[in-house]
Each structure stands twice: as structure tokens, then as C-alpha cells.
Amino acid sequence: MIGRGAVALACVAPACACGQADAQALRVFGNTSTLEIAPVLLAAQQMGSGAVTVSSGGIPNLFSGEADVATNAETQALRVSVEHPNLRVIFTVAEGYYRIVGRKSSGIAKLADLRGKRIGTIPQTSSAYFLHAMLATAALSEKDVTLVPLVPIDKIPAALRAGEVDAATVWEPEIQNAADALGADAIEFQNKAVYRELFNLNTTAEKLADPAKRQQIVAFVAQLIRACEQIRGGSQEAIGLVAQASGFDAGLIKKVWAEEGFHGTLVHDLPDVMTEEDAWLAGANDPLGTGMHRAARPRAQLVRLVDPAVRLEALALLHPPSDAPSIHTLAEAQQAVARLETDIANVEGIRAVKRLQYAYAHYIEQGRWGDAAGMSWGCWVTTARAPSGKAASTRTTMFASTASGRLP
């Protein structure tokens, strides 16, 4: 996801006014025309303009000296970190669930019908990667379609309506505008298990090494966690702030609000998502001839871009030791860790089963009977050593694979 023009709010400074902002305030940059920015706007308002300024922009502003922290999808973090390996991803502000909207009148009834069609998107963005991932589920790639770059983003609804493209994908709420423009002629494709945008808060290693600046960043992340909790709890205040900043109608924002996830954490699978996506960005698929060819970075290199310490410090700020449940013995600590591991194992197991179900259905739909027959499933069971006199705990991890060792 990339930005567009700056919009000013009571707590949002226009990009050109950054030099006039309070030098002591934390300078936050992000795409203020997106729904994902909602927790940032709410947190900034609650902290006050003297503590935080928000301007329209993104990760590049970190390296122009204008920003202390900046939001963007993980795609832009991957792109910029090639030249700036000191970039640090510290918090997932939101998750965006993307859709492809197509024209039924173009002969599109299922995802595989996109073969040979013209598809509008924005190159080298999270929406372009979503398209790549979705095409792969139908055994297609970018080479099987005609990609049509559509910039600025608000050109997409008109291009679909005029028949300049057969389908399109981009982030909310513009893709909803595209669906509305087609009316009954619209058909949608969405699979949240294939990909979701990770709209993260980013900074630099140098900023985090500055004790005073780190304190500001930690305080802001703590407020972001609160803001996400309020949004999940049904607070409507953030919708008004997004409407004011973006210029989109509040009714439109409410219509697509469910296409965003505000979990207030640093997602655990971020390094895995980044590893798969970096291989795509490295140039293995370059149908537009961007010339962006380089070696894909291994997971061990990319994981160094992710710094979970800031979120942990923010949680400690929100829940100081006096407020935290007391743990008096080693046994209690071990039990707490075991409960956490069980929660994580349950989530991993559910995801594995969903991937298995999806893969089987996909192979059957494509008539790939050999692949379906060659699928295997099972589980690993690990036993954790327990303190004396206590029952040992076990963890069951589901897995699924094909003969090739990979799910689609």
C-alpha cells in the first residue's frame, strides 16, 4: 500500500507543515487516505498534538529525515529495506483483507476465468502481491493475464465501469467503489487464508537506539494497542477520523469496516510472509518489465528487520508489574508458559487444517486427481517435561503436504 495526497486533521499535520510542528513531538507518517490508518489517528488524537503529529506519507519519510515512525504495508518495507537494512518493523497496526472485483460480462464466473483478461492494479504494492497469490490458487501467474497499472487509485472504478479492464484489485474502500460501479455485473473473489495485507508501524535502528526517542515510540505503541482495543470493542470514533482524513464518506467506510482487522499486536507469521513475498519482489515475476531483479533474501536475513521488543515494552507500560498477575513460583511460571504454548499450537493447528481443506478442494476443482490422491496429513506430538509430581503437557501440531511437499 502506498500513499496519496496529504489531508490535515486536528491531529494530522499536512506533509508540508512538518518543519513547523513541535520539534519534541513524535513525527508519524502514514497513508491518511486508507482505513488501516484508523488506530494511528485515534491514538494520536488521544495523546494530543503536542505529543504526536501525523502526516501523509510512508516509509520513505523515515530516510528523508522527516519521520520518526511510519506506516506501510509489508510490501513497501521489503522494497525500501533493500537499500536501508536499518529499517525496523515494530508493530502491526492493521490487517487488510483484499478482494478481486471482476465483470461478469467479461466472461468471468470463476477465478480461473481471469486467464487472458485485463486486470487493473498498482504494481509493486500489496494489492499486486495479493493478485499474484490469488492467481496461483487457480494455477495461473501474471504471465497468464494482462496487468494494467492504474494510478492514481481512484481511476480503478471508472476503468472497470468503462470496460478498460475486466477485473481489478486494490485496498479498501476504493475496491468497494469499483464493485458499486459495476452493480449486478460485479463478481468478487476473496480468500483471507491466501494473503492479508500487514499494515505495520516502522522505524529505524538508529531511532530505537536513542533512549529519548525510544521512550516516545514505546508510549505511542502502547496507545496504539489501546486504540485497537477500542476499535475492536465497537468504538465509532475512529471511523469519523478516517472519514475526515481521507475524504471518504463515513457510510462507505462503515460498509467495508469488516474488511480490516485491528488486532493490536505484531503478527507472529510476519517473517514467513515477508520471505515468500520478497521472492516475488526480487523479480522472479516481472511481467511489467520493471527491471527490479535481485537475489531474494533468506528468512534469516529478513527476520532481523522485525523488532518485537518495542511491543513488549509497550505492554509492560500498559501493565506494570504491580498490575500483572503475580507469579510466585517456578511451577506457576512454567504453567503460564505452557498455557501460552497451547494457545499458539491451537492456532497453528487450525491454520494447518484450513490449508489442507483448501488444497484438497482446489485439486478436485482443477481435476488434479493425482495431486489430491498424493496428499498426506498427520500430526507431530511433542511432550514437554513437567515439574516433579505434575503431568507432562503435550502439543499436537497438524500438518498437510502433497507429493511435492508444498501446498498450492
Share of the chain above pLDDT 70, in %: 71
Neighbours of 84 (CB within 10 A): 16
All cell numbers assigned to 286: 516481472
Q: In CATH terms, are 15-94+197-313 and 99-189 the same topology? A: yes
Mean pLDDT to the nearest integer, 261-276? 96
HSE at residue 250, side-chain half, CA atoms within 13 A, is 7
pLDDT band at 345 (very low <50, low <70, confident <90, very high): low
Is the confidence at residue 351, as pLDDT, over 90?
A: no
Q: Are the C-beta atoms of 278 and 296 separated by less than 8 Å?
A: yes
Nearest Cα neighbor of 44 from 220, 263, 213 is: 220
Output the DSSP codes for 291-325. ----PPPPHHHHGGGB-THHHHHHHHHHS-TTTSP
pLDDT band at 380 (very low <50, low <70, confident <90, very high): very low
Residue 287 φ then ψ, to 5°: -65, -20
Phi-psi region of 289 (alpha: psi -120 to 50; beta: other; left: phi over 0): left
Residue 163 corresponds to which amino acid?
G
Identify the CATH assignment for 99-189 out of 3.40.190.10, 3.40.50.2000, 1.10.490.10, 3.40.50.10800: 3.40.190.10
Residue 388 φ then ψ, to 5°: -55, 130
Is the confidence at residue 289, as pLDDT, over 70?
A: no
Residue 203 φ then ψ, to 5°: -150, -160
Range of weakest confidence among 190-199, 245-254, 280-289: 280-289
All cell numbers assigned to 97: 483483507
pLDDT value of residue 303: 97
Mean pLDDT to the nearest integer, 274-283? 93
Q: Are the C-beta atoms of 126 and 79 separated by less than 8 Å?
A: no
Percent of the chain that is helix, strand, coil (3-state, to 5) = 45, 20, 35
Is the confidence at residue 385, as pLDDT, over 50?
A: no
- Looking at per-residue confidence, does 233 or 353 come out higher? 233
pLDDT value of residue 365: 60
Question: What are the residue ranges spanned by the domains of the chain?
Answer: 15-94+197-313, 99-189, 327-401
Range of weakest confidence among 142-156, 190-204, 230-244: 142-156
pLDDT band at 10 (very low <50, low <70, confident <90, very high): very low
pLDDT value of residue 390: 46
Mean pLDDT to the nearest integer, 113-117? 98
Interatomic CA distance for residues 176 and 315, integer angstroms: 35
Range of weakest confidence among 20-34, 83-97, 104-118, 235-249: 20-34
Q: What is the fold, at CATH topology level, of the domain defined by 15-94+197-313? A: D-Maltodextrin-Binding Protein; domain 2 (3.40.190)
pLDDT band at 14 (very low <50, low <70, confident <90, very high): very low
Share of the chain above pLDDT 90, in %: 66
pLDDT value of residue 394: 45
All cell numbers assigned to 113: 476465468
SS (H, E, C) 228-280: HHHHHCCCCHHHHHHHHHHCCCHHHHHHHHHHEECCCECCCCHHHHHHHHHHH
Mean pLDDT to the nearest integer, 66-76? 97
Mean pLDDT of the chain: 83
Instruction: Tell how strand 99-103 and strand 167-170 pair up.
Output: antiparallel
Is the confidence at residue 116, as pLDDT, over 70?
A: yes
pLDDT value of residue 25: 95
Is the confidence at residue 21, as pLDDT, over 50?
A: no
Range of weakest confidence among 150-159, 215-224, 254-263, 288-297: 288-297
Interatomic CA distance for residues 176 and 179, integer angstroms: 5
